[in-house]
Structures are given as C-alpha cells and as structure tokens.
Structure 1
Amino acid sequence: MLRQAAPEVFQISLMPRNSINCYIIEGVLVDSGIRSSYTAVKKILRNIPVYKHILTHAHADHQGCSDQICAEFSIPLLCHPNEVFRTETGLVTTDYPAPQHWIAKLQQKYWAGQGHKVEQTVVENDMIGNFRVIETPGHSPGHISLFREHDGVLIIGDVATNMNLITTAVGLKCPPNIFTTDQQRNIQSLQKLAQLNPSVICFGHGPVLHNTNRKFEKFVAECSAHNES
C-alpha cells in the first residue's frame, strides 16, 4: 500500500493494482482517494505526519475522504481557484461532460466525500515545499500538477493515467472522455508537462513511471499527432 517513489515522496495505493493513488510529498498529502479510503489514509498519516492537504482536482476519486482527513488532523485544504466550488460543496461531477450519466451518479453517491472549506488557493508557479504548481486544465477546469525541479519528480494527477481504467492493464493513456471536461485542453497540458522532461511520474491511476527512456514524451507526441489527424 505504501511505497517510496523518490526522496520524501510516498505513493499510497488505495485500490488493487494501483488503480487509485494518493501521495505524500514533503509532508503534504496530495489527493485522498474515495470516501471509503478514510481508514487506510488515516492509518498511514499517523505514521507519516502531514501539515497540509492539496488536491490536484476535485473529482470523487481524489477528494473522497478529504473532509474527514482535514478534520481528523486539523490540516488546511488547498486547491486551484477553479476547483473551489466542487471542493467546498462536494458536488464533484458538475464539470463532467455528462453529469447525469449513470457512472457519474454512482461516483457522486458512493465515492464522493462531503465538501470542505478551502483555506488557500494555488496557481501557476506557487510552491508547495520544493514542488512548483503547474496549471494543467482539461481533465477538470482547475487541474494542477506538481513538479520538483531538482530531481524531476512530477505529480500528474489525471492529466494522464498509467493504466486502462477498465482492464487495469498498465500503459499510458489519456483520461477517459466521460470524466474529462475538455480533452483538447488536456492534450495541451500534456504537451506542457512533456517539455519538463520529468524523471519520475506519479499518477492518480496506475503505477509510478520511471521515465528513463523518455516514454512519456513519446506518448505525448503520439497523442498530439493523433489529435491533429
């Protein structure tokens, strides 16, 4: 369940085969899984203390137990300004292309947590410890990624996944259209991240990728070419 991905970077795998992940980076909890992830996350945070909690975006599989965790440990919650409404209300599917789809309704009912007050918003180039905030909208309007310059660690959220969400087979994918506000903007965000040449990429869904052969940049180039064709 708990793996060290890089110095002061821990992956918490909340579902089998890394299908839902959150992270602890330099004492900051990034995302929180689904509502029922609370017990598992709480147990880990009793051994690895955190002093704040930040969301890459406010979808149900990322904010699920944020309210409970922030209340339990008395820590502030941060997100991008364009995620504040969903974060504070818990109405997490309002940016989906089809919020009335049965899968969206199931996520809202069974995965989403209650809303929680946002103590601070973050925007492009703000710092979370040694991690720089990078605005990467598309999957959601206020999606952010976090990048540590000195060793190339990238927390990518759902700008890309490293698994097929249906079969759980490992491999780089764009996020599903059904959950993505604007796939074109998401590809632009992927292009922005590829320019960073990250060394270690930590996904919301799928295993951590050690990008030694520039697999990520090749994937982004293929996505961009496919989108233009």
Structure 2
Amino acid sequence: MREIAPGVQLLGGRPPHMVNCYLVGDVLVDAGTPGARRRLLRELSGHRVSAHAVTHAHPDHFGSSRAVCEAMDLPLWCGAKDAEAIETATPVIGPGIVPKLLAKMPKVPSYAVSRGLVEGDEVAGFEVLDVPGHSPGHIALWRESDRVLIAGDVFFHFGRVSAPWSFLTADVAVNRESMRRLASLRPAIALFGHGPPLRDPDVLERVAQ
C-alpha cells in the first residue's frame, strides 16, 4: 500500500494497476475481484477501516466486497442506482454477444447495501458525484481542496486514457457526458479503477471530446 495523494492510499494489485482499490481515509473504495479477498484483508490488517464504498456494480469492483465487509464488519455503500445490482449480483452491462456470455458466468457474492450514495454526499472528505453510463449508478469521488478525483471506470487508463469498453458499458452516450463532466473539473490527479494515476488534466479533456 502506498500513498498517492494526502489520505489516499493505493492497495497493491497483481499485476499493478490492473484493478485498483483505494483506502481513502478510513473508507475502502472498491474491492476488486473475488480472488482479491486474501490480499485485501492482508493489506488492510492494522489499518482503521470504518466503511466500504463501491464506485459501481461490476464484479471486478465488488467481487470481494462481501468477504471484506463480513471479515471486518463494515457497512457497504454504493451509488443508489447500483444498489440492487450488488444485492442481487446482477450487474447491468452493455448490449451484444459478449455481455450475454459474461452474464452466464458464475455470479460474484452479493451483499446488502447499507447506504445508497447520491450526488453531494460526503465520503471520507470527498464529494460524491453522480456519473452514470458505465453503470446506472456509477459514482466518482472529488476533493475540491486539492483537486483529487477518484474516477472509477468513467475512464480507462490501459496504456492510454480512453472511454471504457463499450461492451461493458450500460449506456455509452451517457458515459460520454460523465467523461466530459469529470474532465471539466481539471483534476490535479485522476485515479482510475484500471490504470495508473494521471496528473495531466489536458489528457482527460482531449479524450472526453
């Protein structure tokens, strides 16, 4: 675990930056795939954690949520419009053949949502932003004081910054609007669900056009 912004720590991944989880103050943000359970619990051991927030209801972000919440006795928070998807382990993804095949794979463990987050809520000193598209209830976290953005999967950062893959995105056009909104904030550092941090706001603006 390493600090990448004041009060924001990036948990280790395998491989690094493939699927990111963050400890923001005392809140775990995202919990990776089901296979990340042991690694997450090992890294969080000795740290104060009071809650777990999920940026969006896709199985690579809440795959270990149930295991972590049960092991550490944490409430689970997510965007209000994604709560049902987590509680039933039925994420909303894009149209086409690939999503249909993915839907037939074994479900990740579901878990009860304690708090449905909405625009303007506060999480560990960050403001909740409602940025749907990749999923219906996708949220981002924004700290105006030092312009730190936790963008989830509104953008991908695999080698280069891009829109998330369309076959995993519930509504591509709506996600594009969310990309423009986040880019307009001109974050000093943008943190992603996939990929390393970015410290160049011009890149987000170009990709969001």
Q: Counterpart of 2:163?
A: 174
Per-residue CA deviations over 1:54-98 (Å, capped at 9, x if unaligned) read: 110010100000001000000100011210111111122x44324
- State yes or no: 1:208 paired with 2:197: yes
- State yes or no: 1:104 paired with 2:102: yes
CA contact (8 A) 2:128 2:140 kept: yes
Q: What TM-score, normalized to structure 1?
A: 0.86
The total of aligned residue pairs comes to 209
What SS does the corresponding residue of 1:115 show, helix, strand or coil? Answer: coil
Per-residue CA deviations over 1:170-197 (Å, capped at 9, x if unaligned) read: 1101100110011110110011111211
Bigger mean CA offset, 56-65 vs 46-55: 46-55
Q: CA separation of 1:200/1:89 partners in 2, compared to 1, >3 Å: closer, same or farther?
A: same
1:50 positional shift:
1.1
CA–CA separation in structure 2 for the residues paired with 1:99 and 1:72: 36
Bigger mean CA offset, 80-89 vs 11-20: 11-20
Q: Select which of 131, 135, 138 maps to 1:140.
A: 135
CA–CA separation in structure 2 for the residues paired with 1:90 and 1:160: 23
CA–CA separation in structure 2 for the residues paired with 1:99 and 1:63: 23
Q: What TM-score, normalized to structure 2?
A: 0.94
Q: Counterpart of 1:72?
A: 71
CA contact (8 A) 2:79 2:139 kept: yes
CA contact (8 A) 2:99 2:168 kept: no
Per-residue CA deviations over 1:107-166 (Å, capped at 9, x if unaligned) read: x42xx5311101111100111121000000000000000001111110000000111xxx
Q: Counterpart of 2:48?
A: 49
1:47 positional shift:
2.9
Give percent identity, aligned residues only: 34
Task: Report matched runs for 1:2-13 at 5 Å.
Answer: 2-13=1-12
CA RMSD for the aligned pairs?
Answer: 1.7
Task: Report matched runs for 1:149-160 at 5 Å.
Answer: 149-160=144-155
Q: CA separation of 1:15/1:124 partners in 2, compared to 1, >3 Å: closer, same or farther?
A: same
Q: Which runs of 5+ in 2 are unaligned?
A: none
Q: Which runs of 5+ in 1 are unaligned?
A: 164-169, 225-229
CA–CA separation in structure 2 for the residues paired with 1:98 and 1:104: 10
